Chains A and B, each alone.
Chain A
C-alpha cells in the first residue's frame, strides 16, 4: 500500500496521545507558552512564521521522518494536532512515498 505524501493531513492521528505531549513540551520550552492542540501557532500574536522551519527539523529529527514535496507547507504545521497527524501519516507510509 502506498500513501501519497501530498494529501491534506487529517486532524486525527493514531499516535496523538503519544506524540502530542512531546511536541507541546518542545513548543513550551521554545516559546514559554502553552499550546492547546488546535491553536493556530502562526495566527496574529503567535509565533514568527520563520519558526516553522525549526518545527520541520524538530519533527524530522525526533520522529525519523522526511518532510518533502507538497507536504512542505505551513498549513501542515499550524497546530499541534496537524503536526501529529502529518508525522503519523509519514511514519506509516512506505519509504520513497514522499519527496515529490
Chain B
C-alpha cells in the first residue's frame, strides 16, 4: 500500500561525508526521523560496514525510545559519489554534513571539494569538536554557507547540539540548520567561534586532568568516575565519557586546542597517547579505559 508520507523529514535528504562514529551516528539520527541519507566515505571498508552500523544505531535509538513513534525511516544510500549527490541525481539536498576525522587539513580538503560541487545556498555543516569554523571557511567556495555543529556521541540519544556560527556564516544558513535540527528533535544552542567552542574547551582539559590523576596513581579509573558521578553529578564520569568520544578523537581535539590556545592543560598526557598508540581507542575499538563488547 502506498500513501502520502506525513513524516516531517520525508522530503529531506542529507549528504553525510565520513562513515565513522559520528557520521554513522548522525545518519542514524536522520534516518530515524524520516530523512533520507546519502553517505560517502573514501574508505571502502568503512563504506562496506556503514549500512550495518547505521542500522544497529537506528535499532539502539528505537530501543531507547529516542525516535518518534510511527515515523517511516529514511532511506540510506551508501553507493553514491559526491558528484551524484551534488548534481541532484539522488534528489534535492537539504544540507551536507561533513563528519570526517578531526584533522583540520582533512576537513579543509573535503569541505573545499564539496563546496565547489553543491548548489549555492546549500548549508555545509562541519561537525567538529574543536576546529574553529572561521579557519575552515578559508577553504570553501562560499563561507556564508558554512556552519559548525558539535553533536555529542551518540547523536540520537543526546538531545542538545552545539551550533557554531562562524564569523562569515550567513543568517540563512543558521536558520536552515536550526530548522533541520528541530526536525531531528534536537535543541540547538548557538555559540560564537573559538577553539573548542564551549563544550570541548571545558570538557577536554578536564578529561585530560582525570587521565593524569590515574597516571599519577592517585585513584583508579573506576574511582575517578565514581567520584565525579557520585559527588559532582557527572552522568558517566570523565573516563567513560572519553571512551565514548574515542581516545584518538580526544587526542586530536586536545592538540587543536593546545596549538591554538597555548593552554598546557590541553597538551594530551602520556597515558592518553600510549592508549592511542596501542589501539585502545575506547568503546569503538572494544577497549579504552574500560573493556566493551560490541561496537556501537
Interface residues of A (CB under 8 A from B): 30, 48-50, 52-54, 56-57, 72-74, 77
Contact = CB atoms under 8 A, between A and B. Distances in A.
B65 A73 contact: yes
A53 B294 contact: yes
B293 A52 contact: no
Given A48-B236, A53-B56, A74 B294 contact: no
Interface residues of B, number: 14
15 contacts: A30-B293, A48-B240, A49-B64, A50-B60, A50-B157, A52-B60, A53-B59, A53-B296, A54-B293, A56-B59, A56-B63, A57-B56, A72-B63, A73-B65, A74-B63
B62 interface: yes
Interface in B143-181: 154, 157
B293 A73 contact: no
A53 B63 contact: yes
A57 B60 CA distance: 11
A72 B62 contact: yes
B293 A74 contact: no
Interface in B28-76: 56, 59-60, 62-65
Interface in B227-247: 236, 240
Contacts of A48: 236, 240
Secondary structure at the A interface, as helix, strand, loop or mixed, is: helix
Contacts of A54: 293-294
Given A49-B64, A57-B56, 12 more contacts: A30-B293, A50-B154, A50-B296, A52-B60, A53-B56, A53-B59, A53-B60, A54-B293, A56-B63, A73-B62, A73-B65, A77-B63
Contacts of B240: 48
A72 B59 CA distance: 7
B63 A52 contact: yes
Contacts of A53: 56, 59-60, 63, 294, 296
Given A53-B56, A53-B59, A74 B65 contact: yes
A36 B56 CA distance: 28
Nearest to B69: A70
Contacts of A30: 293
B283 to A, nearest CB: 8
A52 B60 CA distance: 8
A73 B236 CA distance: 22
Contacts of A77: 63
Contacts of B294: 53-54, 57
A24 B64 CA distance: 22
A37 B171 CA distance: 55
Contacts of B236: 48
A50 B61 CA distance: 10
B59 A52 contact: no
Contacts of B154: 50
Interface string B282-295: 00000000000110
